[in-house]
Amino acid sequence: GGSQLAAELQPNVTLRVLDLRWNNIGLVGSRALLAACQSNSTLNELNLTGNNAPDDIMENINNALAKNTEKRQIHFGHSQNMAILARQVQNIHTEKDRQITSVLKRVSLQEQAMLKANKSLAEKVKKLQETLNDQQLGFNAISAKNALLEADLTVATQQYNDAENEIKKMKIEKDHLIHKIRREYQQEKDGLLNIQEKFQRDLNENLEIQRRLNEKVHDLERKNETLQTTIYELRETITINDRDHHLKISSLDDENQRLKLKHKENLKDYELSSTRNIQRLKESYETTQQNLKEQITKLETIRTTLEREVNSLKSIISTQKLNHEEILQHEKLRLKNEEKRLQFLRTAMLDYIGRGTKTN
């Protein structure tokens, strides 16, 4: 029964209130009524007391009926508002007609005033035209001046561009000159360092040669001293030998005299023997003395040669020392001149950079 009632209720558009109390519709009928209420837009009140309908379905039915009530209230309110708006529109049309009439009157008055104003305006326009012509002439003169100024500005711009190009060229030349001066300075510096290193090497080599020569001189001096000592010893030996020979000869003479006295009979034989012995001793002495003299002569020759070599080495050392001092003085003078030249180049470069900065 509930389902059939719901089917009949869906297309209904006139029913506003429906009382279904104590009909035991149940779950299925209440669901069908819920679907009908959701699709029906005119039913405002439905009483389902005592029909065993679940609470959630009852709440959904109440919500659907509440929407229908709100729609009806809105519809009624809209109808009332439309009537009020119609009256207001009528009042507005009346007011507009009145305002249009008033505006037309004011427009007529304004047209009359405008006719009067047009006459004075024509005179003013004529005066303004004359003034405008004068201003046009002034404007033409100003335009001519402006053209001249633009030409001058173009020339000035060209001159400025030329000056800027010149400044750029000067900057490039300045950078190139600075680079060139730095490169030359570095080359000069490297050359000076190489010369200084070479001079230092030569100086070290010369010092080494001088040290070796000094050692050689010391060796020669030691040899000379040794030779002088040897010569002195040989002379002492010769002196001792002379003294010994003289003593031997004296002893032989004494022995000879003693033997003469003792052995007169063998005097002749002994004299001959003694004479031969003395002769042999003299020959031996002379030979020894001659050998010693030859050795002394050789040693003297060696000593003289050594002295000459020592003097020659000393002369060579002195000459080399003077040459080294002269070369050192020359290098110092050249280094001083190079420093002056480099200082001049630095000063010139700084002046050039300063002038370029002021120009910029």
CA distance 97 to 99: 5
Residue 243: closest CA among 254, 255, 251 = 251
Q: What is the pLDDT of residue 187?
A: 80
Cα angle value 44/49/55 (rounded, 5°)? 85
- Grouping H, G, I as helix, E, B as strand and the rest as coil, residue 337 is helix
Q: What is the pLDDT of residue 148?
A: 84
Q: What is the pLDDT of residue 231?
A: 67
- Other Cβ atoms less than 10 A from the Cβ of 34: the count is 19
Q: What is the pLDDT of residue 260?
A: 59
Indicate yes or no: pTM above 0.85: no
Domains and CATH numbers, the chain: 2-103 (no CATH), 168-359 (1.10.287)
Q: What is the pLDDT of residue 298?
A: 81
Q: Measured on CA atoms in the order 194, 326, 335, 211, is the torsion positive or negative?
A: positive
Q: What is the pLDDT of residue 355?
A: 67
Q: What is the pLDDT of residue 183?
A: 82
Beta bridge pairs of residue 46: 18
Q: What is the pLDDT of residue 356?
A: 60
- Other Cβ atoms less than 10 A from the Cβ of 102: the count is 10
- Ordered alpha helix ranges (H), the chain: 2-9, 26-39, 55-262, 267-359
Q: What is the pLDDT of residue 343?
A: 77
Tens-digit pLDDT profile for the chain (360 aa)? Answer: 677 777 877 777 778 888 888 888 888 888 888 888 888 877 878 888 888 888 888 888 888 888 776 544 433 333 344 555 667 767 777 777 777 777 777 777 877 777 777 777 777 778 877 877 777 787 777 778 878 878 888 888 888 888 788 878 877 887 787 787 778 777 877 877 787 787 678 778 877 877 787 787 677 778 767 767 776 776 777 677 667 767 776 776 676 666 656 655 555 665 677 677 667 767 776 777 777 777 777 877 777 787 787 778 778 777 877 877 787 788 778 878 877 877 777 777 677 666 665 555
Q: What is the pLDDT of residue 190?
A: 80
What are residue 17's phi and psi, to 5 degrees?
A: -130, 140
